[in-house]
Chain A
Amino acid sequence: MRVAASSSFQQRIESVSTAPLELKKTSTQYKLLIGVLAVIIGWGLYAYVTQIYFGLIMTGMRDYVSWGFYIFNFVFWVGVSLCGALVSAVLRLANAGWRTPLTRIAELITVSALILAGMMIIFDVGRPDRALYLFFYGRFGSPLIWDLIGLMTYMLGSFVYLYLPAIADFAILRDRLQKVSNSIKYKIYSILAVGWTGTKDQKSRLARAARIMTVMIIPIGCSMHTVTAFTVSMTLRPGWDTAILAPNFVVGAFFSGVGVLIFVMGIFRKFLHLEEWITEKHFKYLSYLAVTMLFTYLYFVVVEYITVIFKLRLEEKELFTNLFLGPASPWFYTFVVTAFLLPAILLLWQRQPAIPRIMAAGLLINVGMWVKRYVIVIPTLEVPLMPTGFQFATYTPSWVEISIAAMGFAIFALILALAAKALPIMPFAEVIEEHEHEEAAHHGHEETTGRA
């Protein structure tokens, strides 16, 4: 729904912010997208039923390589989820005013990625009916329990953090529906808006809650990635047995978080017509952040490899021979090219048009980081535990694993697509407030100059 540029700010924000109220005006494109996603998810569910029925023998996982596609997809989704903590919290604390239109999208990505991460764990266990045993019989000594607690804490915190600033936006939608106050939609938005009218007391309470969450969500997000790294780095396996793995995961997660935000933001901007609020400036600022994270991550990866390669214990030698020259080398070099080389060129070589260039970099970063999770998880498990006489184990994902991983991406896209229809996709209340502030400051400025 395009509104003429000549219309006032009020009209333009009105038309975008109340988009969730017009579910009937669904385009064919959107229906087609939902249809394609539904087909992928249906096929993935069929694959999962096959896996439940026949057991994990349907996957490529065996005794040596017991963590396959699911776990490295889990690590990938956990990485993507740090996007929310980064953009909403770090930039909010840094008082970067330009981040306001991006916060809702970033938080949505976080929540959906964490749902996916939890699902990947369920897919990975052969007896999902016993998943609750983790709650009943988990012990403090197990890194997997830290991961469970980290995931639960980060997921529920992210839900709260997504919801808090949205209360005022739900109130806008509720007020828009006053005339049809008997509809279900009105009731749902009324409940979600919790009687928000924007009084001073309400504002101070919500601001206090938001401050607490903003400060907390950063260490919680970092701890989530740290304990995810701990599940592998607490072992003595080659490639995992390194102290730098946890910070490496955090930096890598920031890196892929920025990448996915750039990409998803571009998609939303195009299809929801948010060009006025999400501008080239946002892409440029995020691309600076992406370049910073790229080189930080490159530094961490080089440090991680060089300290191990210099000493080169026997099993590490087998790992790195496999990684640099052996069967795992295509994955490794794909990672180097798609995560470092191409994005660096795309981000640093500032050619116009900027937005497609930066979006391509964001997508490539995530392809590269997805491949990197494979490089972290699989080749290490392929290294034999006994130094002599044993052959390398090999891992090839089966069609079941590939289908379920594809279903993961489809669910991610579906959650975002449905959210675009049902939720205010930008913090409109905040945007309006900031606009009013700007206007007031502008007028104030004119008045003072006039008086002078």
Chain B
Amino acid sequence: MNMNKLKSIALFVLLPLAVITGITAAALAQDFTAPAPYAGAKNPNGWTDANAIKAGKSVYLKSCFSCHGANGGDVAQADFSTPEFAAELEAHPDFFFYVVSEGIKDTEMAGYKFTVTEAQRWQALTYIHSLGYVPPKPNGGGPVVTPNATDNATTNQTPNNGSGAVVPPTSGPVEPEPPPPPVILAMHIPAQAKAGEPLHITFNLTQGNETIADAPITVFFKLTYFTAAPQLATIGQATTDENGTAEITYTPKTTGYIPVIARYTPEGEKPIEAASTLELTAEVPLYETNVGLEYKGFPPDITLFPSTVWEGRAPGIAPVNVIRIPGGLPFIPFAAYLGVVCLVWGLYVFVGYQIFRVVPNTKVKGINLKLFPMAIMAVLAGAGLTMVLILITGPYSGHVILP
């Protein structure tokens, strides 16, 4: 290999590597410098521009919500719900505009420069800013909610003033009347629970000092199936009583860190949500599906099993083997196959017997010549029996171990 080749390899391998490493490092080290086309870009809207926030929310719900969540706190690396994030965004708008446009390499964060217009990206950033922004003079904007430390309660609020945005009217005498206090949905849920055991979740729905009764609350698990975007699976519904509290009981059948979302949708209003993360663990497998299909019809399925099948078993132990013969239509190919296997192996053993009968009765120099043909017959008979047993037996796991 000559020097030119080495040089070009270095150029083609090291240069992109350096660029990628640089970008990743920049993103990870929170070095807020935006590269060329984005450097020095400014938010065309004011950070508290109510119209921009409103427009930005719809962009956010379309493009950002599925990962970052309702309050922007679902991605730990970019938690929009903190005042610190809002401050960083205000200080380095060009960098965050660059991230939204180009994405972050090797992470889930995608670039949106082709799918979302430049104006909409700025609107979304304005809305994101509003999620964590704490106005300098909090006079009736929204109460700072302190989560219940022991219960891991998390709340989220949306002002009930029709604009659908968290806009504290701080600057200027634009709105002389203070808006009604926001509706607050508080969810009390343990941080950890056991799968397979009942889980109690309680809710408080308040507006200012008043409680809201007869309000329907729907609770979801945010589940990720394979590569699809997370899906909301309803785990329960409850209606608040006169104290504004509601409770659901649900027995989770999954494990892992599951985001839980509670949602209350007032008439003609934007939904109000509370979110938390629940760690679900399990010591035994929760349930197993039965292996194979059951066939209806004549003749019926035949399953003969020992009573130990019902005693359950320790995790990691394979299901019990039982005699299983399919019924219905599959019985015909099964019977044909079993018949052929029996015939073939029966004939094999018969051939082995012919070899056995070749041996004369005289002994030759102390060697028992009958042993070898007998071994052949034993191997053939044993293998044939194994084949038949493979066909007529199968694992039975159709019992549920759930407590």
Contact = CB atoms under 8 A, between A and B. Distances in A.
Nearest to A138: B390
A383 B380 CA distance: 43
Interface in A104-156: 133, 135-141, 145-146, 148-149, 152-153, 156
A206 B359 contact: no
B391 A149 contact: yes
A140 B326 contact: yes
A31 interface: no
Interface in B339-390: 341, 344-345, 347-348, 350-352, 354-355, 357-360, 362, 364-365, 367, 369, 371-373, 376, 379-380, 383, 386-387, 390
Contacts of A152: 383, 386-387
B73 interface: no
A133 B367 CA distance: 39
Interface residues of A, number: 39
B386 A136 contact: no
B369 A194 contact: yes
Given A139-B324, A208-B354, A149 B387 contact: yes
B341 A139 contact: no
Contact of B348 (A136, A157, A181, A195): A157
A413 interface: no
Interface stretch (A13-21, A209-217, A287-295): A209-217
A161 to B, nearest CB: 9
B282 to A, nearest CB: 24
A139 B395 contact: yes
A196 B358 contact: yes
B359 A140 contact: no
Chain B interface mostly: helix
B344 to A, nearest CB: 6
A133 B394 CA distance: 11
B85 interface: no
B204 to A, nearest CB: 43
Q: Which of A140, A192, A208 has the most CB of B within 10 A?
A: A140
A164 B351 CA distance: 9
A202 B341 contact: no
Contacts of A62: none
Given A149-B391, A194-B358, A187 B380 contact: no
Contacts of A197: 360
A209 B351 contact: yes
Contacts of B321: 136-137
Contact of A133 (B318, B334, B355, B357): B318
Contacts of A139: 291-292, 324, 394-395
A191 B374 CA distance: 12
B344 A140 contact: no
Contact of B341 (A136, A149, A181): A149
Given A194-B369, A202-B358, A216 B326 contact: no
B355 A140 contact: no
Contacts, number: 107
B250 interface: no
Contacts of B367: 187, 190-191
A246 interface: no
Interface string B187-229: 0000000000000000000000000000000000000000000
A199 B386 CA distance: 36
B351 A212 contact: yes
A209 B355 CA distance: 8
Contact of B394 (A137, A160, A163, A187): A137
Given A140-B337, A141-B293, A160-B380, A153 B369 contact: no
A140 B359 CA distance: 39
A232 to B, nearest CB: 19
19 contacts: A138-B390, A139-B324, A139-B394, A140-B391, A146-B337, A149-B391, A164-B355, A187-B367, A190-B364, A191-B367, A191-B369, A194-B372, A195-B359, A197-B360, A205-B355, A208-B354, A209-B351, A209-B354, A216-B344
Interface of B: 291-293, 318-319, 321, 324, 326, 330, 334, 337, 341, 344-345, 347-348, 350-352, 354-355, 357-360, 362, 364-365, 367, 369, 371-373, 376, 379-380, 383, 386-387, 390-392, 394-395
Interface of A: 133, 135-141, 145-146, 148-149, 152-153, 156-157, 160, 163-164, 167, 181, 187, 190-192, 194-197, 199, 202, 205-206, 208-209, 212-213, 216, 220
Given A141-B326, A164-B355, 7 more contacts: A136-B318, A137-B318, A137-B395, A146-B337, A149-B387, A167-B355, A195-B364
> Across chains A and B, which 5 residue pairs bring their CB atoms closest together, nearest first?
A209-B354, A139-B394, A209-B351, A195-B360, A137-B395
